[in-house]
Homo-oligomer: A and B are copies of this chain.
Amino acid sequence: MCESNVYLIDENGRESLFFESVDRLIPQEDGLLLENIFGQKKLIKAKIKELALVRHKIILEK
């Protein structure tokens, strides 16, 4: 399956894992709605810095 892990990058460039196995990402007015393959959802006030899908990686920044 082609879900990705979502990482949050801080101002020092350090990445921390925020949410695993994300299938869907839907931008909202107040952030990004993430849904993983298990149907769990998280809303985060952040923006996309980069998608690297072959590496199963989504990087967000606040």
Interface bits A36-62 vs B (CB < 8 Å: 1, else 0): 010000000001111111101010000
Q: Check if A25 is an interface residue, CB within 8 A of chain B.
A: yes
Majority-rule SS of A interface residues: strand
Whether A2 lies near B53 (C-beta < 8 A) is: yes
Chain B residues, Cβ within 8 Å of A54: 1-3, 23, 37
Give chain A's interface residue range (CB within 8 Å of chain B).
20 to 34
List 9 A-B pairs, Cβ < 8 Å: A2-B2, A2-B4, A2-B56, A23-B52, A24-B52, A25-B50, A26-B49, A27-B49, A37-B54
A residues with a Cβ closer than 8 A to B are 1-4, 22-27, 37, 47-54, 56, 58
